[in-house]
Amino acid sequence: MGKKNKAFVEKITAMEDDFAQWYTDVVKQAELVDYGQVRGTMIIKPYGYAIWENIKDELDRMIKATGHSNVAFPLFIPESLLQKEKDHVEGFAPEVAWVTHGGDEELVEKIAVRPTSEVLFCDYYAKNIHSYRDLPKLYNQWGNVVRWEKTTRPFLRSSEFHWQEGHTAHATDADASQETDRMLEVYADLVEKYLAIPVLRGRKTDKEKFAGAKYTLTIEALMHDGKALQSGTSHHFGSGFAEAFNITYLDENGKSQYVHQTSWGLSTRIMGALIMVHGDNRGLVVPPRIAPTQAMIVPIAQHKEGVLDKAYDLRDQLQSILRVDIDASDKMPGWKFNEYEMKGIPVRIEMGPKDIEKEQVVLVRRDTGEKEFVALNELESRLPALLEEIQQNLYDKALAHRNEKTTVATTMDEFKQTLDEKGGFIKAMWCGDVACEEKIKEETTATSRCIPFEAEKVADTCVCCGKEAKEMVYWAKAY
């Protein structure tokens, strides 16, 4: 790297030195977010929002393809409504932001700013579901919610975040189960195929499940520093909420029945996963399928006659094939290289007088830094193939990292030692007793991440108490 570019790169802390600082640096330098005025809030800047929009658009398409409709419910929840389901209100109470005044007047009943919208949907369903013909109700909404968090980090834990929340009502428990499974699979698909992040699919323990749920399904991803990130959850409520809110329908025989409900959500937290799974010491790395700009043309010696014209021609030619842009500003090419590496743009296309003479360009991959010369007349077939190679390589790398950082532990000493020395996921047997789960958390700070759908047996006894084991659990320190 030339001296001219050095100062720019030095602004990022190396991830080996201080991972948390590296994360903050990338978020800032890649121009993803800025801090809001109220503690823990964030301003998602154009580049950050463009990535989120690509994720959102893809997920929205999948949600609609599985039969759901989008709706928009209010931001506000009356206190009495929030308190109707006991476990739910207990789970969220410490994080609720309250509106107590309207103008100068104190409100008779205080109003919660939604931390999640289950109760609003339940209230609506109670009034609008009458017969088995009204079922299923398959609603989704895109919106923002507020949770008054004590410690906050951009994307990972913010006082306000953006997400989608699906809320559905079904005639039977089995229908609701199917829905819970289906939506988890939609999330897994999105995260694996578009974000190139491999995920573990499984069920949360009762201690870790959503407040008020019968059970919670989750996808869990492993970050570069060996910590896990819950990346999407799908909850089966059984008829718990229906009983609290009296949501009933008349079945085919005219008999009154409770509905069975689900909810599922995926938030801007996933942006944190994207940064921490693929990023490196040169900045962000964005998988091609969700990259707002998949290739950036950087003209070399652009002051020379004909170079800019050719570069613009190239952009026009490629626009129907991929999301391509050109930087014809008067910044030095080296500076531009650094900037687009920082932003994680998958491919850089260099084009200078010599290339024009030879009717070729130089392609540089963000993920590996590899360069290749490609003839202009082969570019239209080479670029899409290259983007797919990058997408696959990012996934393969992340999977290899997760495999390397997944370790079996059969004793607490092994458990602790592995966690200290290499972090990552620990596979260990569990007796099913919450006391052991709590003890493990206390002694190691690792939490149970999920009980995988495909049951495994790595020992006969619980890693903590030595009694007969019921399940194999993935454990990890987590965000």
In terms of CB distance, is 146 or 469 closer to Zn ion? 469
> What are the tokens at 271?
């942006």
In terms of CB distance, is 60 or 433 closer to Zn ion? 433
Calculate the alpha carbon distances from 339 to 143, 155, 245, 298, 327 in Å.
Answer: 31, 22, 53, 11, 11
Q: Is 459 in the site for Zn ion (CB under 5 A)?
A: no
- Per-residue binder mask for Zn ion (CB under 5 A), 273-302, x = binder: ------------------------------
Taking the alpha carbons at both ends of the chain, their separation in whole angstroms is: 34
Size of the site for Zn ion (CB under 5 A): 6
Residue 444 C-beta: closest distance to Zn ion, Å: 14
Residue 466 C-beta: closest distance to Zn ion, Å: 7
In terms of CB distance, is 165 or 437 closer to Zn ion? 437
Residue 464 C-beta: closest distance to Zn ion, Å: 4
Q: Mark the segment that binds Zn ion (CB under 5 A) among 72-80, 238-246, 262-270, 423-431.
A: 423-431
The 8-class DSSP code of residue 144 comes to E
Residue 468 C-beta: closest distance to Zn ion, Å: 9
Q: Please state whether the peptide bond connecting residue 384 to the residue before it is cis, i.e. omega within 30 degrees of 0.
A: no
In terms of CB distance, is 404 or 438 closer to Zn ion? 438
Determine which residue in the list 149, 465, 470, 478 makes contact with Zn ion, applying CB under 5 A.
Answer: 465
Q: Is 473 in the site for Zn ion (CB under 5 A)?
A: no
Determine which residue in the list 59, 436, 440, 450 makes contact with Zn ion, applying CB under 5 A.
Answer: 436
Residue 15 C-beta: closest distance to Zn ion, Å: 36
Q: Is 462 in the site for Zn ion (CB under 5 A)?
A: yes
Residue 438 C-beta: closest distance to Zn ion, Å: 10
Q: Is 429 in the site for Zn ion (CB under 5 A)?
A: no
The 8-class DSSP code of residue 56 comes to H
In terms of CB distance, is 273 or 431 closer to Zn ion? 431
Assign 264 to helix, strand or coil: strand
Other CB atoms closer than 10 Å to residue 151's CB: what's the count?
A: 7
Residue 455 C-beta: closest distance to Zn ion, Å: 17
In terms of CB distance, is 127 or 467 closer to Zn ion? 467
Determine which residue in the list 112, 129, 183, 431 makes contact with Zn ion, applying CB under 5 A.
Answer: 431
Q: Is 356 in the site for Zn ion (CB under 5 A)?
A: no
Q: Is 409 in the site for Zn ion (CB under 5 A)?
A: no
Separation of alpha carbons 439 and 417, rounded Å: 16
Q: Is 428 in the site for Zn ion (CB under 5 A)?
A: no
Contacts of 125 (CB under 8 A, 6+ apart): 137, 169, 245, 247, 259, 261
Q: Mark the segment that binds Zn ion (CB under 5 A) among 41-49, 137-145, 299-307, 435-443.
A: 435-443
170 neighbors 179 (Cβ within 8 angstroms): yes
For the segment 192-251, give every residue that binds Zn ion (CB under 5 A): none
Whether the CA torsion 35, 37, 38, 44 is positive or negative: it is negative
Strand partners, 256: 250
For the segment 29-58, give every residue that binds Zn ion (CB under 5 A): none
Residues in the chain: 479
Calculate the alpha carbon distances from 152 to 41, 51, 161, 176, 300 in Å.
Answer: 8, 21, 11, 34, 42
Residue 215 C-beta: closest distance to Zn ion, Å: 20
> What are the tokens at 470?
């019921």
- The DSSP secondary structure of 156-174, one letter per residue, reads TB-SEEEEEEEEEEESSHH
Q: Is 469 in the site for Zn ion (CB under 5 A)?
A: no
In terms of CB distance, is 229 or 429 closer to Zn ion? 429
Residue 458 C-beta: closest distance to Zn ion, Å: 14
The 69-70 sheet, strands edge to edge: 69-70, 137-146, 160-170, 260-267, 228-238, 215-222, 200-203, 447-452, 471-476, 425-430, 406-408
CA within 13 Å, CB half, 198: 14
Q: Which spans of this chain sit near Zn ion (rule: CB under 5 A)? A: 431, 433, 436, 462, 464-465
